[in-house]
Amino acid sequence: MAEKGKAGNLAEFDHSQVDQSKKVEGYIPDLEWSIEEEKRLVRLLDTRIFPWVLLTTFILNIDRTNLSNALTNNMPHDLGMSINEINTGTLLFSIVFTIFAFPSNVAVKKWHATYWISFLMFSWGVVTWCHALIHDISGFLSVRVFLAATEAGFIPACLYYLSLYYKTHELGSRLAWFWGFQSLASAISSIMSFGILQMAGIGGLEGWKWLFLIDGLLTNVVAVLTALYLPISPFKTKGLLRGRKPWFTEREAQILVTRLIRDDPVKIEQSKPVSLQDIRETFTDVRLWIHVITPHLCSIPRLVLTTHSLSIRPSIIKSLGFDTYTSNALTVPAYILSLVISVAHNYYSDRYGNRAYHCVAQIALAIIGYVCLQALPDNTNKWGLYVVVIITLAAYSWHALQVAWVTENMAPMGKRSLAMGAIIAAANIAGVPGSQIYRADDQPRFHRGNWINIALLTAASVLFLCLRAYYVRVNRKREEIWSAMTDSERQHYRDTTEDRGNNRLDFRFSI
């Protein structure tokens, strides 16, 4: 049985919703295909393209978490740094990261995502191994600034690249794997660090310098291979690493392109540059600002416990009474648990079509973890404290859900691209206030900092629920108006309206 696809989150699909003046290679308005054909092509995407994207994000988090592991290996002592000076590095990193995250999706449309991703990876790989050359605080601050500039555009570029191949409802579960693989990378990074840090003295280098050197060179290798492997379109899949035979026939490539545009007509504008109107509509959309504020509030506690803040995951576990190498190894369960929770959570969110409640459920788990950290007495068995810390660290799969939610609710394409940059920037600028929450005078249990984290997470939960209530109300009003219109009135609206994207009457928000 042939299937022509759906219009995604639009109330109805009509070819008039697609701007036929836009010429996209492979888009065939009247193309038909079977459900089995489409499922087989999605499986090909999942086995040929998606695993390599996971590899790139895996490498990203290997490089992100190496600082937290290095800090347990005398790096602060060797460079003459205190915890407050590490916070300064985090502050600079977050500011620079935010500045460079915004223009990334502008650049990715000028230089194709494949090459932009490869360029960014190679650049931060060089900066990573340059950590092995520093000898003082100024050197540390310099490499953190350059690392922020080179890493900032990577995730927006990957999200854009995945949107070139996957439908909206297919993206959520894959983003769970995307961020979940970062957790897996963090786990493996801890295991790698356990061995690499013991190379101290070889070649006259400290163990933490070997860690940055090896991670950086590994990134350079994967960056080059990425440029050779990831195809720039379904029609251009032959290559040195991809093989002489195309991955898709011409018909299959046409199906891959056409199904995306039928699912989400705004994707006809994938190659269209961001306009001034897109910028104006993005920054005046109150709904987006709420989406920006919530990940910012949630990310402050998250970044306090991860590599862009105090680089504290191993350090917090070390404060429970474990030695350096054991502290690194004991972070592994948190990362594995985070991966499992993220994938399961996003699966059920996709299945039941509810983003807000699943985000709040994850935040609630983190709140429970912080409350337990506060309630347990100082003489609690270190293994009991360890379990609570692990659960708290693992409760952050809401981020993939939030990104999927924004992707579904922002249109047209230019606005969606800018929104992605805004969400990533908001999450990472959280490192600025986050770097000041866990202070040296609050060690080792950080009680004051934990209360701040609880308050921030509670506020974010309230905002998520308010945003959901708003979307439900708008959808209901639009549906009432749309249902009352005749077919000719609906067509007249489509032909004459100046409303764009998610301001259209026939647009329905995901909740």
The Cα-based distances of 474 to 266, 324, 509 in angstroms read 21, 53, 8
Fold match flag (33-271 vs 276-510) = yes
Q: Which CATH number fits domain 276-510: 3.40.50.300, 1.10.10.10, 3.30.70.80, 1.20.1250.20?
A: 1.20.1250.20
Top CATH class of 33-271 equals mainly alpha
Number of H helices, E strands in the chain: 23, 2
Q: Is 369 exposed, middle or buried (0-12, 13-18, 19+ CB in 10 A)?
A: buried
Residue 246 region, left (φ>0) first, then alpha (ψ -120 to 50), else beta? beta
Phi, psi of 25 (to 5 degrees): -60, 125
Residue 407 pLDDT: 85
Could you write out the DSSP letters of every residue in 250-262?
Answer: HHHHHHHHHHHHH
pLDDT of residue 307: 39
Q: Which of 4, 17, 5 is nearest to 266 (CA)?
A: 17
What's this model's pTM, rounded to 2 decimal places? 0.82
Separation between Cα atoms, residue 97 and residue 429, nearest integer Å: 7
CA separation for the pair 481, 491 (Å, rounded): 14
The amino acid present at 302, given as its one-letter code, is: R
Total number of residues shown for the chain: 511
Which amino acid is residue 268, in one-letter code?
A: I
pLDDT string in tens for the chain (511-residue length): 444 444 333 444 454 455 554 577 889 988 899 999 999 999 999 999 999 999 999 999 888 888 888 887 888 888 888 877 887 887 888 889 888 887 777 788 778 889 999 999 999 999 999 999 999 999 999 999 999 999 999 998 999 899 889 988 788 788 889 988 887 887 788 778 888 888 988 988 898 999 999 999 999 999 999 999 999 999 999 888 888 899 999 999 999 999 998 888 878 777 777 788 888 888 899 999 999 999 889 888 876 665 333 344 555 555 556 665 666 667 677 777 877 888 888 888 877 778 899 899 989 989 998 898 888 887 777 777 777 877 777 777 788 888 889 988 998 888 888 888 888 888 878 867 876 787 778 777 778 888 999 999 999 999 999 999 999 999 999 999 999 999 999 999 988 998 888 999 988 898 8
Torsion sign across C-alpha atoms 211, 216, 219, 224:
negative
3-state secondary structure of 441: helix
What does the H/E/C string look like for 190-213? HHHHHHHHHHCCHHHCCHHHHHHH
Domain layout of the chain by residue ranges: 33-271, 276-510
Q: Do 330 and 322 meet the contact criterion of CB atoms below 8 Å apart? A: yes
93: tokens are 């990193």
